[in-house]
Every structure is written in structure tokens, then in C-alpha cells.
Amino acid sequence: MRGPLASVTLLVLLSGSTAGVGAFADAGHRVVGLIAEHHLRGARAVSEIRKILGRGETLADAAVWPDVIKAPGYEDDDSELFRLEHPAHDVYHYANLPFQATRYDPSLPGARPGDIVQTARECVRVLRGASTMFTEREALRLLVHLVGDLHQPLHVGTAFVAANGQPSFVIPQGRTGWRVTRGGNNLVYGPQDRFNLHSYWDAHAVNLAMRREEPSAYASRLIRDVRVEQGWNASGDADSWPEQWANDALPHAKTIHRGIGITAYLGPDEAGRTPHRWRIQQPAGYDDLARTLIPAQLAKAGYRLAAVLKAIWPEG
């Protein structure tokens, strides 16, 4: 993807200005926004997006806002009212479905009215004028971010561990007998158990794939090297696409957990904020899995983000 798109951030379709490059934790979201901008070139959606986003704001900028506002000290012209009206906004980013599930189902443990699928769907409705749950600006910034999150498989599927006996991954049955790992946040590894499986896929895996490239250069490489596949296209109305994308992510969530060994039950953390933790060991070649999966997921997310924005604002 390098050649014609090496200056994708400089051209930034929506603004003509560049955004600061953050840590690898937000780099993946910026890459998704940059790829979407490429696929939106010449589309009517571009002018509609310009009306909603702030002056000089790009989709790459919008993509990181829903994470940035989790910091209590962060303030801008939108964050305070949004946090007041949506005090549980941090739970919009995921669904804790069992990774063994074959499809999203609202009746599954971990699915709920405010999960990532339902929130992304509501954002589509707001931008179409069919809902007032968010402002248009909130809905667009959330949607840009959540489409990226839907392609990080641990934002959709999670492991449940048996509450009794030898710790092992189980399919939750009934109301007790299992404990949720919260998208891998409770599965820890490394020196002093400082790292967890969720942050591995949010940040470290992206770092491995990007090889220290900045988001603009990496987005260019993905556009060049990762071919768009027919299976990336959703069917039916865009209202149903977040659910279809969640269904697409679940097999990857299963792959991510394959070969993971639970070596010890650790109990709560020192601060008492996490009641249950398990030490894990990753299988051989796990980093190679990340290097293969992450590029495809980021490229797919950028393509799909552009597709849903085109569906919200069709041509003509």
C-alpha cells in the first residue's frame, strides 16, 4: 500500500490536515480511519462527514475520541455532556459473548442492550435520522471507533473459566459455575503478571504488525498489500451490519484462545478491582498469529467503515 497512498494523512480526504500520532493503543483505530478515507474518495458521504466533524478533524481523529474520553481529566467541547448523559459509555465498546458461540444472539451471556453491536446499530440509526440517542457528532465518532473495535475479536468474544476444579475454558451454562475473563483482561502473563491478553490484541499485536511504522505509512501499506475480498461485504440493510461483523469476529476470538494454557489461578489484584485473574501461557508461534491476523482485520475494518458510511449517505 505504500506507493500512491504514502501521503494519505497529508491529503487527509476530509480535512487537509494531519493528526498527531498517539501510542500503539490508538494506532490501530487511526489506521482504520485512514483506510476508510481512502475508500470514501469521491463519495457523497465525504461532504456529509465534513458537516458533522469539527474543523480539520479527520476520521482518524474521530476514531480515537471514544477511548480518549475515558480519562477522567480529559475535556473538550463535547466530552462532559456526553459523559453526563452516558455514564456507562465505556461498556459500549464490547460484548462478552462466549468465544465458542457461532453467532451473536441477544440472549447469550455477555450480550446486552448497550453492547457494541446494539450501540453501533444505534449510531447508524442516529446518522440516518431515525434515533436521538446520540448527537450526530457523537454517533459518527462512536461509529468510526466501534467498527474498529468489532474487528478486534476480544471486543466480541471472551473466555469463561470454570469456577471450580481445574481452571479451564468452558461454555457458560446457567447462572453460576463460571467466571468471565472480560475479553481477556483477566488472563495475565509476563513479569509480575503485568500484561493481559486483551491489551496484547489491542496494542502489542498492532505493534508487531506495524513494525514501528506510523499509522499513515502502515495504512498505505495495507491498502497496497491486502486485497479486498468479496466476503467483506455485508448483506441486507446497514442496520444489521454490526451484528454480521460480530459474527465474523467470533471465529477469530476462538482462534485467539486456541492453545492458551491456564497455569494458575491468582485471585484478585492488589487493588481489589479485579476479583479473579488467571496466569496464562501462550502457545508457540502466537506472535506469528498476530502478525497475520491484525493486517487483515484492520484492512477489513477500514473498508467496512467506508461501506457503512456510504450506506448511510448513498449517492444521488
177-200 per-position pLDDT tens digit: 999 999 999 999 999 999 999 999
Model pTM score: 0.91
Q: Are 221 and 40 in contact (CB under 8 A)?
A: no
Check residue 25 and give its pLDDT: 59
Angle between the 136-149 and 241-257 helix axes, to the nearest 10 degrees?
30
Residues listed for the chain: 316
Q: Are 116 and 143 in contact (CB under 8 A)?
A: no
Check residue 165 and give its pLDDT: 92
Amino acid at 47: S
Do the strands 157-158 and 160-162 form a parallel or antiparallel pair, or are they unpaired? Answer: unpaired
Check residue 10 and give its pLDDT: 30
Residue 54's pLDDT band, with cuts at 50, 70 and 90, is confident
d(CA 262, CA 159): 11
**Count of CB atoms within 10 A of residue 88's CB?**
8
Check residue 18 and give its pLDDT: 32
Check residue 281 and give its pLDDT: 97
d(CA 112, CA 97): 10
Give the range among 20-24, 31-35, 221-225, 262-266 with minimum mean pLDDT: 20-24
Do the strands 278-281 and 187-189 form a parallel or antiparallel pair, or are they unpaired? Answer: parallel
Check residue 260 and give its pLDDT: 98
Looking up cell 487483515 gives 296
Amino acid at 214: E
CA-wise closest residue to 213 among 68, 72, 21, 18? 21
Half-sphere exposure of 81 (CA within 13 A, CB side): 7
Check residue 271 and give its pLDDT: 84
Check residue 93 and give its pLDDT: 97
pLDDT(204) > 80: yes
pLDDT(5) > 50: no
What would the pLDDT profile of 94-150 be if each residue is shown by its tens digit? 999 999 999 999 999 999 999 999 999 999 999 999 999 999 999 999 999 999 999
Check residue 9 and give its pLDDT: 33
How large a percentage of the chain has pLDDT more than 70?
92
Strand boundaries in 62-108, DSSP class E: 97-98
Do the strands 178-180 and 261-265 form a parallel or antiparallel pair, or are they unpaired? Answer: unpaired
Average pLDDT of the chain to the nearest whole number: 91
Give ∠ CA 224-227-230 in degrees, rounded to 5: 150
pLDDT(246) > 60: yes
Residue 156's pLDDT band, with cuts at 50, 70 and 90, is very high
pLDDT(13) > 70: no
CA-wise closest residue to 258 among 155, 150, 159? 159
Residue 61, C-alpha cell as written in the block: 481523529
Do the strands 195-196 and 187-189 form a parallel or antiparallel pair, or are they unpaired? Answer: antiparallel
Looking up cell 476480544 gives 154
How large a percentage of the chain has pLDDT more than 90?
87
CA 210 to chain centroid, in Å, comes to 17
Q: What is the mean pLDDT of residues 213-221?
A: 96
What would the pLDDT profile of 255-277 be if each residue is shown by its tens digit? 999 999 999 999 999 888 899 99
